Amino acid sequence: MDEETPKPVINPSDLGKVVVLCGSFPPMPCGVGDSAYELARELASMGVDIEAVCDVHADPVEPGDGPFPVHAEIEHWGFWRMKKLVRTIESLEPDILHIHYPSKAYGSGLGVPYLPMVLRSRRWKFRIVATLHEFRLSHRLRRLASFTLIDPCNALVMPCPLELDALIRRHVSTEEKIHEAIPVGPVGPSPDDYTDDRKNSLRQKYRSDWGVTDGQPVLLHWGTPSKSKGLEVLFKALRLLKLEGETPLLVIAGDYNPGENDLHKKLTGQPRGLGVFEQVKWLGRRSYDELAGIFLGADIGVFPFLDGFSFRRSSLVGVLRWGLPIITTKPDGVIDGLDMQDKVKFVARNDPKALATALINMMVNPRALQVARDAPNPMMDQFRWRSIAERWLDVYSRVLETK
């Protein structure tokens, strides 16, 4: 059998300039913005000439002052007010424009979905790549906007094969252009930056601050609370556990504003109504440095997504990187590699009893919990930013070869 021909080595400097467009960028609360930033930072570290355009509420970065320049200049994302957006992108003279969609800052504005068409009408020759971070469960109007966005693009990337398959079924012309499924990587600090002594110290400190009793398990849910996160199911599972005499502490970290967000206000009252109020601790959005202590203080990550596990969930991956065992919900279809690991356990969606059973099986036996913590973590191999960035280099290189 012939040996497989090795792929040519891609020189990042041959790509020209890449301009990343993402409405929300740090410190704005948005998982898409966090992932877009991490990818851009990794690409910049590999030698790619990269700059970013984002909302005025993000932190601007001048050339030479950070890993890459950030132009936080856009105030409005509507179709009728996109002149500033178009002129900013054109002034940077990109060879590749990489659009991340959607992001929280865009709101319902249609400027970004129509941007590729507007740029093509102005006869700019740079290539356009879009990352579509969600599709299957999007509102139908957002799906229509997605079609407008991707038609003029040279390449389309989605974070999960299931999302990409769903788009192709609805929009078959996607197959006629470069299309890939590339996962998002972890957001937050890396455990590699902490010594064992520092990790132990942080774990003890945060558990003490939370008032954790000896032997009490700590469950962690990280990410902005939304309808798809399944927190209502998790609260009901806590109630079932309490009836069995188990009272773990649930720590919820992520952008949380019950004063302005109706869903967050509703979620705040549910633990009290179920009699588990004292077992739930809302941490809200915390700084990058605090996340390490939160991850280390927890024992099990819990993500009962109503739409199932997906590679687009950067919050889950961020917790998984710290070696915590994860309990989450089954995906819609088959994802390669999920049945070849023991770090992540899957339960039925929207099923408090199944979630409670999985939790109690892991919590009541200290040995079982330790085995889960010590289990190999092969899933992380495909979520490392360096390997993700290398796949993006390949996409960029192929895009430059298109007419």
Nearest to 132 by CA among 105, 99, 109, 110: 99
Cα–Cα distance measured from residue 305 to residue 348, given in angstroms and rounded to the nearest whole number: 10
The per-residue pLDDT for 115 is: 93
Q: What φ, ψ does residue 92 adopt, rounded to 5°?
A: -85, -10
Residue 277's pLDDT is: 94
**pLDDT over threshold 90, residue 129:** yes
Tens digits of residue pLDDT in 267-295: 889 999 999 999 999 998 888 789 999 99
| Local structure of residue 57 (DSSP, 8 states) | T
pLDDT of residue 76: 93
191-383: which CATH architecture?
3-Layer(aba) Sandwich (3.40)
Is it the case that residue 11 has pLDDT exceeding 90?
Answer: no
Query: Helix (H, G, I), strand (E, B), or coil: what is residue 347?
Result: strand
Question: DSSP H helical segments within 97-155, as ranges?
Answer: 111-121, 140-150
Amino acid found at 346: F
For the chain, percent of residues with pLDDT exceeding 90: 54
pLDDT of 8 reads 56
d(CA 108, CA 332): 27
Q: In whole angstroms, give the CA distance from residue 234 to residue 274.
A: 11
**Is the per-residue pLDDT at 123 higher than 90?**
no
Q: Which residue type occupies 53?
A: V
Shared fold status for 12-185+384-400 and 191-383: yes
| Assigned CATH topology for domain 12-185+384-400 | Rossmann fold (3.40.50)
Contact 88, 56 (CB under 8 A): no
Grouping H, G, I as helix, E, B as strand and the rest as coil, residue 31 is helix
DSSP state of 56: T
For the chain, domain boundaries: 12-185+384-400, 191-383
Reported as a pLDDT band with limits 50, 70 and 90, residue 7 is low
* 67 upstream amide cis, omega within 30 of 0: no
Q: How much is the average pLDDT of 206-231?
A: 90
Binned at pLDDT 50, 70 and 90, residue 155 comes out as very high
pLDDT at 4 over 60: no
Q: Please give the model's pTM, rounded to 2 decimal places.
A: 0.85
Instruction: For 337-394, write each residue's pLDDT tens digit.
Output: 566 567 888 999 999 999 999 999 988 887 888 888 888 877 787 888 999 999 999 9
Kindly report the backbone phi and psi dihedral angles of residue 18, in degrees, each rounded to the nearest multiple of 5, phi listed first: -110, 125
Which of 235, 206, 222, 227 lies closest to 285, judged by CA? 222
Q: Which of 136-140, 176-180, 262-266, 344-348 has the lowest mean pLDDT?
A: 136-140
Rounded Cα distance between 201 and 175, Å, is 51
Confidence at 1, pLDDT banded by 50, 70, 90: very low
Cα–Cα distance measured from residue 234 to residue 140, given in angstroms and rounded to the nearest whole number: 28
The CA–CA distances, whole Å, from 380 to 94, 314, 319, 327 equal 32, 12, 11, 16
